[in-house]
């Protein structure tokens, strides 16, 4: 028996979320905004909290500084039911803080800094992430998965342990890897879930079907292209499936993709078909956008099922 249902590895940070920013100064050095809040965030944090809320025994492998920002993230993980035994705390670097400007339509822009470059080494302790039925790389192409050697060692170990492997991609920020740089690792990925912008960046294609085909040709078993308001596309060797998005009044899209992959992985591990898991994932992503912050709106699995029943 595995200790966990699923483990997430990836970035952990604090999001400083600013909504309704007015670029017109009100004084020589002052600006106004509708709101500003601090939230624990980062792909691994967002995904693991969503998974725990959805009822899975969830662990997380991420690196936090020995600082108040790290304390805030660790506390948020515990409060939401994520096992924190695998957290790495280090005084060698600060916990990253991202400033996010959210527009009225829910879209956003972010500012990162040198702390986001810190690259920890999960491959040096394989037992920390293989004691689970499944593994999620919460930030492929971002630290620590902006190093081809780390990517291969982690994925190879997960494959040897019989784990179902999910990888959510991010656009590179500091160290730049291309898809061809990790081709020898992609065969170990069961499901990869780029959004449309990420898929376009890594494949050079504009059509979602063609984007997915590039990933499949590189060795990934299943490709899910997240299309925002356009829904999602799943493609594998057997064919493709496209689902529409749920219609909601979006407030903030922060973490929608993270909630999506959490919902998809959760339902697969609950025994659902890929089709049913995609519908559930779409619902999780939609629910996430209805409040500010990646972890605010999603409550539990029953909430998602009720949302789906009311939005057939």
**Helical packing angle, 301-310 and 274-288, nearest 10°:** 100
Tokens of residue 70, six digits = 């790290």
- 94-146 per-position pLDDT tens digit: 999 999 898 887 787 889 888 888 878 999 999 999 999 999 998 899 989 99
Number of structural domains, the chain? 1
Give me the chain's average pLDDT, please: 94
In this predicted structure, the answer to whether residue 92 has a pLDDT above a threshold of 90 is: no
**Span 226-239, mean pLDDT?**
95
Does some domain include residue 212? yes
The residues, ordered by sequence, that sit 6+ positions from 126 with a Cβ below 8 Å of its Cβ are 153, 154, 157
Does some domain include residue 207? yes
Does some domain include residue 202? yes
For residue 150, the domain's CATH number is 3.40.1190.20
**Span 178-202, mean pLDDT?**
96
Q: Are 102 and 252 in contact (CB under 8 A)?
A: yes
- 255-311 per-position pLDDT tens digit: 899 999 999 999 999 999 999 999 999 999 999 999 988 899 999 999 999 999 999
| Residue 94: per-residue pLDDT | 94
What is the value of pTM for the model shown? Answer: 0.92
Longest dimension (CA), the chain: 62
Does some domain include residue 166? yes
Does some domain include residue 28? no
Does some domain include residue 27? no
Does some domain include residue 156? yes
Residues 166, 264: Cα–Cα separation, whole Å:
10
Backbone φ, ψ for residue 174 (5° rounding): -110, -75
| Residue 107: per-residue pLDDT | 80
Does some domain include residue 29? no
- Residues of the domain holding 251: 4-21+34-310
């Amino acid at each position: 028996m595995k200790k966990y249902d699923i483990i997430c590895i990836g970035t952990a940070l604090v999001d400083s979320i600013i909504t309704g920013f007015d670029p017109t100064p009100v004084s020589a050095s002052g600006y106004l905004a509708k709101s500003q809040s601090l939230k624990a965030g980062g792909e691994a944090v967002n995904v693991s909290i969503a998974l725990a809320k959805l009822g899975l025994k969830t662990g997380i492998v991420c690196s936090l500084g020995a600082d108040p920002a790290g304390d805030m993230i660790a506390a948020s993980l515990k409060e939401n039911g994520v096992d924190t035994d695998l957290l790495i705390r280090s005084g060698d670097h600060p916990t990253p803080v991202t400033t996010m400007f959210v527009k009225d339509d829910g879209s956003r822009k972010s500012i990162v800094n040198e702390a986001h470059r810190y690259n920890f080494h999960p491959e040096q302790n394989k037992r920390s992430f293989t004691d689970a039925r499944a593994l999620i790389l919460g930030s492929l192409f971002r630290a620590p998965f902006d190093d081809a050697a780390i990517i291969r060692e982690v994925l190879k170990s997960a494959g040897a342990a019989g784990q179902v492997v999910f990888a959510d991609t991010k656009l590179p920020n500091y160290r730049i890897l291309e898809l061809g740089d990790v081709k020898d690792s992609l065969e170990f990925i069961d499901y990869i879930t780029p959004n449309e912008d990420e898929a376009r960046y890594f494949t050079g294609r504009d059509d979602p079907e063609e984007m997915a085909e590039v990933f499949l040709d590189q060795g990934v078993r299943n490709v899910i292209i997240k299309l925002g308001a356009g829904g999602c596309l799943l493609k594998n060797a057997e064919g493709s499936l496209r689902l529409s998005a749920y219609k909601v009044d979006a407030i903030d899209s922060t973490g929608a993709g993270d909630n999506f992959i959490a919902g998809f992985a959760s339902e697969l591990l609950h025994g659902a078909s890929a089709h049913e898991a995609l519908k559930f994932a779409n619902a999780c992503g939609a629910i996430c956008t209805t409040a500010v912050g990646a972890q605010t709106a999603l409550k539990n699995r029953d909430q998602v099922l009720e949302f789906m029943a009311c939005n057939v």
